[in-house]
Structure 1
Amino acid sequence: MSDATTAIRFPCANCAGPMVFDAESQNLKCQYCGATQQIEKVLDEPVEHPFRDGREEDLDRLQDWGTRQQAIHCETCGGETLIPAGQTTSTCVFCGSPKVLSQENVRSIRPESLVPFQVSRDAALSSFARWKKKKLFMPNDFKRADVDSQLNGIYIPYWTYDTDTYSVYSAEVGIYHYRQVTRTRVVNGKRETYTATERYTVWHPTRGDYGRSFDDILIPASGHYNSDLLKKLGDFRLKELEGYKPEYLSGYISERYSVTREEGWEKAQSRADSTIQSEIRTVIGGDEIRNLRIRTTYDAITYKHLLLPVWNANYIYKSKTYYYMVNGQTGTVSGRVPRSAFKITLFTLLCLGVAGVVIWFIASHPEIFASTS
């Protein structure tokens, strides 16, 4: 392993060799003699910290990672990781660039808790191999080949927010009604009358209030990853959170958060607003709603900082770099794969051919569709 991947070292009691966190046993495991050491559990329930906008609270305590940290900044992609002070790394774990700089004076709130890696490197590679075989329009040689991936186990930072909300709203709700009306039309050059059903909307004013509590609104604190790819990793099981201990980071890298608590809360509030609006629309009911106005107050806002496990990988196909991620807890895969221009063109031509046949058939047999209209 490189210095980057042996980010925190714990000596083995048997041989003094380096021990790293083992995803299968959920313990520390010696890389030399295979001895294991159990990690003491320190958390019953995650602690929620009060959120005070614009104020810092007990930073000395919240920034204690258990080991002195230094940040490694990549000048190419902008990614930042945390490794113990005194260690060095020559490449970026995100993009592989050698343009990395060490930055001292790390002032980052340490995680309150984390989900330990439960998917090993080999299992992550197997998940990717199964995933890529299901993707459409890939080149045949890529689909059959074993991909040489550069895999790094990274703990990605997240914020979670809890809050109680109280909303008052006003709107106009529309109810559909129906009536029979007489109309005229021209058939075979002759005017005739017929009866049709017409829909109209009756609008009524409505107002009310709505209370709602939110628990663990999960917001990525990483500005490095594509948000769509992170969403496609699936839901992490936050019920399996463990209290932060530096032993869990042994053998892995932790990313330094680049989204502040305040920025994270803005994203969480936007998500809560969207949920509240959707639920109030359901409460109002009706067939249509217009001029909906909602005023919401947020109380008892708390937050916690946590780390979630992800295998971050890149590979090269025909001189182009592709990226994918594997959920380190569930094995869910999200990423990009090469596309075959030939397969895409062939599929497009096939769709155009089918559409052309359908249009020709409709044009050649107007009597069939006229009789069913």
Structure 2
Amino acid sequence: MVIQYKCPNCGDDMTFDSHTGMLSCTSCGRQDNIQELPDDYITNRFDEEEAKQYHCENCGAIVITDADTTATTCSFCGAGVVLGDRLTGDLAPVKVLPFKISRDEARAAFKKWCKNGILTPKGFMTANRIKEITGLYVPFWLYDLNTQAEVQAIGVRSREYTRGNYIYTEKKYYDVYRDMNMDYVRVPVDASEKMHDELMDKLEPFHYQDLERFKAPYLAGYIAEKYNYDDKQLFPRVKDKIASYIDEQIRSTIRGYSYVNYKHKHIDTSQRYAAYVLLPVWMVYYDYDKHVHTFAMNGQTGKVVGKPPISKKKVTYWFTGIAGTAFVGIKIAALIMGGGLLW
């Protein structure tokens, strides 16, 4: 089932406007509040075929998608289409975080980010080689978690003092016990096998107070993916993701010691709730030096992540400059203290 949103006024295609948050017609200017639109058009369930054909209602062309695509654009007329039968039942998102940054704003922000590169090659900083920029709704699970932590440790307070010709070290040992209850809310983990996990993690934070109840028109004009992994499959990853925060929270309650030796640490994390949501990401594909570099931009905040090419010449100059500055500083300090300059 292909869903295309036709303007009731002029019949042209309507798409989601990131500035107004409305379903908008670029031809006549009509705007509709998405949250007030009926959602009874979603009636079918997902077909598990690897690829499926859809007819574009706009031009009649065949739209072929893989099994993970839930929204796309027609390659012939450019119309945005939403595949409604892939957004139902267990595959229906609970919430969506609409795009706040338009394609033009994303392009301008990426160019500005490139020009701020201190160690990137000069040609890269012109930012004129954007091969493709794609607005993508990435599937995420947002977890609410509870962690019970029981910790037994020995806290050591150590001090040194001098008596006569001897230096003494005094140590006092303390039993430390902590029984902690910690809650973590809205911890995100991307659920698409196509997206690089580290890249998606670095896009955080998203502002989840702007989450909206899912309505398919938010996807009009963008590409969207369905999840490849459910919340149970990704639970080990979300536990790993909060592990460092748990350790930091435990350490923050054990202070005032020279050092701490942990004897026993039992951590039990359980899932209270998981919501399937779609989060906005601009994917930027940049052609430089016969290679395509991939960058991601938070579609809500504009944060850019990725690894740009590094100029070896600039790196050499940079480290040489640091070394030279340090050398001059040392010589000036020596002169002030009465020493001579040895050039």
CA distance in 1, matches of 2:34, 2:138: 21
CA drift of 1:361 comes to 10
TM-score of the aligned structures, taking structure 2 as reference length: 0.76
- The 3 A distance-change label for structure 1 pair 292 and 328 is farther
Candidates 182, 190, 193, aligned match of 1:223: 193
Q: Offset of 1:108 from its aligned partner?
A: 5.8
Distance change (3 Å), C-alpha of 1:247 and 1:119? same
Over 3 Å counting, the alpha-carbon distance change for 1:167 and 1:340 in structure 2 is closer
The amino acid across from 2:298 in the alignment is: N
Q: Over residues 242-263 of structure 1, what are the superposed CA-to-partner deviations in whole Å (9 max), with x where a residue is unaligned? A: 0111111111111232333123
Mapped pair 1:248 → 2:243: no
The alpha-carbon deviation at position 279 of structure 1 amounts to: 1.5
CA distance in 1, matches of 2:186, 2:36: 22
Q: Any conservation in 2 of the 1:158–1:219 contact (CA below 8 Å)?
A: yes
Partner Cα distance (1:360, 1:287) in 2: 38
SS state at 2:301 partner: coil
Between the aligned residues of both structures, percent identity stands at 26
Q: Does 1:142 align with 2:115?
A: no
Kept in 1, the 8 Å contact 2:98–2:280? The answer is yes
Distance 1:274 1:351, change over 3 A: closer
| Matching residue of 1:99 | none
Give the CA deviation at 1:280. Answer: 1.9
TM-score, scaled to structure 1: 0.71
* Other-structure match for 1:82: 69
Give the aligned CA root-mean-square deviation in angstroms. Answer: 3.6
Matched, 1:159 2:146: no
Distance 1:66 1:154, change over 3 A: farther
1:265 equivalent in alignment to 2:260 = no
Matched, 1:204 2:174: yes
Answer yes or no: is the 8 Å Cα contact 1:168–1:208 preserved in 2.
yes
Distance 1:341 1:140 in 2: 11
Change (3 A) 1:281 1:145: closer
Task: Name the residue aligned to 1:30.
Answer: 25
Q: How far is the alpha carbon of 1:345 from its aligned partner?
A: 2.9
The residue type paired with residue 296 of structure 1 is I
User: What is the CA-CA distance between 1:156 and the residue it aligns to?
Assistant: 1.0
Trace 1:28-107 onto structure 2 (pairs within 5 A): 28-40=23-35, 81-83=68-70
Equivalent runs, 1:325-336 vs 2, <5 Å: 325-336=296-307
Work out which of the residue numbers 117, 130, 136 in structure 1 matches 2:99.
117
Post-superposition shift, 1:177?
Answer: 2.0
Deviation at 1:88, TM superposition (A): 7.1
Given the alignment, which residue of 319, 334, 344 partners 2:290? 319
Count of residue pairs brought into register by the alignment: 309
Report the equivalent of 1:48: none
Point out where structure 2 has 5 or more consecutive residues left out of the alignment. 52-65, 77-85
Listed one character per residue, the Cα deviations across residues 281-335 of structure 1 (whole Å, up to 9, x for unaligned) are 2212222111242223445621111111011110211211111111111111112
- 1:137 to partner: Cα distance: 1.8
Cα offsets for 1:144-197 (capped at 9, x unmatched)? 3533341110011111111333322211111122221555xxxxxxxxxxx65x
Give CA-to-partner distance per residue, 1:105-140, whole Å, 9 cap, x none.
999632110100110000101111111111112222
Distance 1:116 1:280, change over 3 A: same
Distance of 1:34 and 1:8 partners within structure 2: 20
- Give the letter for the 1:223 counterpart: E
- Worse-matched range after superposition: 306-315 or 333-342: 333-342
**8 Å contact from structure 1 (residues 277, 294) kept in 2:** no
Task: Give the AA of the match of 1:211.
Answer: N
Structure 2 partner of 1:13: 8
Task: Provide the rounded CA distance (Å) in 1 between the counterparts of 2:34 and 2:134.
Answer: 22
Residue 277 of structure 1 deviates from its aligned partner by 2.6
Cα distance 1:165–1:65, how it changes in 2: closer, same or farther (>3 A)?
farther
C-alpha distance in 1 between matches for 2:271 and 2:214? 24
**Are 2:117 and 1:127 equivalent residues in the alignment?**
no
Structure 1, unaligned stretches of length 5 or more? 1-6, 43-63, 74-78, 91-103, 184-194, 369-373
Query: C-alpha deviations, 1:14-68, integer Å up to 9, x for none?
Result: 12221111111111112433322221259xxxxxxxxxxxxxxxxxxxxx96666
Which residue does the alignment assign to 2:55?
Answer: none
CA 1:182–1:130: 2 relative to 1, 3 Å: farther
Which secondary structure does the structure 2 equivalent of 1:135 belong to?
A: coil
Q: Which moved more, 1:341-350 or 1:209-218?
A: 341-350
Q: Which moved more, 1:114-123 or 1:137-146?
A: 137-146
164-173 vs 341-350, which moves further: 341-350
Call closer, same or farther: CA 1:297–1:227 in 2, change over 3 Å.
Answer: closer
Q: 1:362 to 1:306 in 2, by over 3 A?
A: same
